Structure 1
């Protein structure tokens, strides 16, 4: 029988960070992961450079049915605390747009930092280890695994959500939560590209590969970042952001020239350049291929002087207020996160311990807390892992 003070299921960002801080308290800690390597999601993140936090991180950057739940943890372990740790390890990093911090060299720098911190406090790491059964005991938990039987006082579920199954993501964490009576809020793919119907794709195929700066709106929620036309639909940061809010069957509004009122620009062009064609004028504000597509759609690649007001308004609306109804998303296959999960109303916001089962903890993505794009979900992993690590 292998006996530990703490067993953490999941060797990702949250699990490793919890292990470090539990180990620093002198706890005997085991981290198990069914994959061949720890921290695979860190490795592939940020194009291989890991957007490890955001300098502007705040509770306003997270979605949850219980929006106040994340406040305490984000205050107790902030982005500045993690940045200090990165600096102590001599990892070089840089800021991109909107406060996003990336490693200069490789995401492996963050992984190596976490593994070294684990080693320094005696954490045991085991990969290719699956948990087959969990039983509550008088002293904690008994686990049956592919590495044999194990026991622990505290059990931490840190195995994330369903996003990116090709690196090993599963719904196992939800199964454990359900076993111990927890409510699982409906899960769905978040921070994910949106797809079009075959008919719309065929209509838009000439735009595949083009990107624009865009304001994307759904209800009262708006994001302004890049948008990319793809062979499946639309992607890019602004689309990934809005996807976490979008509900299937609803339209979204896209402004592809957010710094220009196209209706006014076309009125000015009609006065000053009456002999210019509509596509030529539009190409001053949007990529040429999009200008040509819109001109074709309104059926009016004539000179500005020849255009009626209705046609001008129609073209302007297609740029400043394009109403499009996606058919769906690309799903967990390409989603960066999983929305929903273990209901946080049944978890302590201080200790991250289950309110239903003593000694059972949940951290990271498995819970119903989802950050915006840009390093926020990693910050949630660090903050929740740190807080639980003080109590497990």
Structure 2
């Protein structure tokens, strides 16, 4: 819709083809129904891609401030949560309505719900889209089909299939911003604690996030885990699997904390229960064989405890998949696209924007901003 509105308001004749029966479901459900529509501070470092510099051009030319100005022009009230995240005060439907009105202002046409049967060339200068409601042809085709996350609201791999059909490389899609699953031994110790949440610093590869972690019946979730899951997936995808490391005492030096409590006759789990959820602290100590009075634990073992508290290393067994993922890692390889226009370098008139491209943002409004920025880049080039 953003791309269509931009192109149509420049005088282009635009048709949106959408197979969904309900418009913009991913916007509607985002941010708990209030749509985290952007972040105040957005840069290339907030995104993962095999070409980390690709997103710079589009983000620079259509920044968060541009979209914020659009939101304010429509009188939509919003508020800022932690780390620059912006949400609607009322409902995500307001963002959908904004985009629909922008399309109406450009006299965009709609074909919805319409199932796409095939995409090809009508001739060397035009594309042909065959649907269950007839055929449509145009000089330019923009693929804005999103990723594979949340299939129950209509996500498919159509965009990647179209790219492959036109001989464009695709980075294998993986679930991102997704809960992680754990091996059976760790899970058997932690699963009974489902619902326990605590602050951590999560690290994997180049990623580092200070946020909440949450224990689930299948492993770990919460903002810190969702964030670091993208980096874990990226490491796996590039053939260099890396553990997820959690600092359980983000506000303390673990060695100093142990030294302060060194003469205590209390069980280590009880002491840790002062700074961590009590049930989790006890289970964590039992998992490592450390549920003993701290006074009885020798210097060598205390050093190991300090290291584990500051750098608890976990090797996830997997993720909860696309059904629980907020976005998709991977997509159309950016080497095949212009960073200025999002057009395919070898296929004039063919564009890929948003989540279908191998640009994946952090949690916190970054993926929506990439959607807006990439859409404007293509809309201004049509």
Same fold by TM-score, threshold 0.5 exceeded?
Answer: yes
RMSD: 1.6
- In the superposition, relative to structure 1, how do residues 156 and 123 fare at CA in structure 2: closer, same or farther (>3 Å)? same
For each residue in 1:219-238, what CA deviation from the matched residue of structure 2 results, as whole angstroms up to 9, or x when unmatched?
Answer: 34311111111111001111
Partner residue, 2:285? 295
Q: Residue 169 of structure 1 aligns to a residue in which SS?
A: coil
CA contact (8 A) 1:298 1:314 kept: no
Question: Which one of 220, 240, 255 corresponds to residue 247 of structure 2?
Answer: 255
Q: Residue 262 of structure 2 aligns to a residue in which SS?
A: helix
Partner residue, 1:350? 340
Q: Structure 2 CA distance, aligned partners of 1:169 and 1:93? A: 28
Please say if 1:69 is aligned against 2:54: yes
CA contact (8 A) 2:6 2:379 kept: yes
Partner residue, 2:132? 146
- In the superposition, relative to structure 1, how do residues 375 and 301 fare at CA in structure 2: closer, same or farther (>3 Å)? same
Partner residue, 1:8? none
Partner residue, 1:371? 361
Question: Which one of 79, 90, 100 corresponds to residue 75 of structure 2?
Answer: 90
- In the superposition, relative to structure 1, how do residues 312 and 158 fare at CA in structure 2: closer, same or farther (>3 Å)? same
Deviation of residue 53 (structure 1)?
0.4
CA contact (8 A) 2:187 2:219 kept: yes
Deviation of residue 299 (structure 1)?
4.4
Q: Residue 358 of structure 2 aligns to a residue in which SS?
A: coil
Moved more, 216-225 or 372-381: 216-225
Q: What does 1:297-376 align with in structure 2 at a 5 Å threshold?
A: 297-299=287-289, 301-376=291-366
Partner residue, 2:227? 241
Deviation of residue 300 (structure 1)?
5.1
CA contact (8 A) 2:144 2:354 kept: yes
CA contact (8 A) 1:131 1:146 kept: yes
Partner residue, 1:380? 370
Partner residue, 1:228? 214
CA contact (8 A) 2:163 2:169 kept: yes
Q: Structure 1 CA distance, aligned partners of 2:175 and 2:288? A: 35
Question: Which one of 95, 102, 109 corresponds to residue 117 of structure 1?
Answer: 102
Q: Structure 1 CA distance, aligned partners of 2:321 and 2:165? A: 26
Moved more, 97-106 or 259-268: 259-268
Q: Structure 1 CA distance, aligned partners of 2:245 and 2:125? A: 55
TM-score, normalised on structure 2?
0.94
Partner residue, 1:23? 8
Question: Which one of 87, 97, 116 corresponds to residue 102 of structure 1?
Answer: 87
Structure 2: state its 5+ residue gaps.
none
CA contact (8 A) 2:192 2:217 kept: no
Structure 1: state its 5+ residue gaps.
1-15
- In the superposition, relative to structure 1, how do residues 323 and 138 fare at CA in structure 2: closer, same or farther (>3 Å)? closer
CA contact (8 A) 1:101 1:375 kept: yes
For each residue in 1:121-173, what CA deviation from the matched residue of structure 2 results, as whole angstroms up to 9, or x when unmatched?
Answer: 11112222111122312441122111111111111100011111111111101
Please say if 1:204 is aligned against 2:187: no
Question: Which one of 261, 272, 297 corresponds to residue 269 of structure 1?
Answer: 261
Q: Structure 2 CA distance, aligned partners of 1:353 and 1:124? A: 22
Deviation of residue 283 (structure 1)?
1.8
Aligned residues: 375
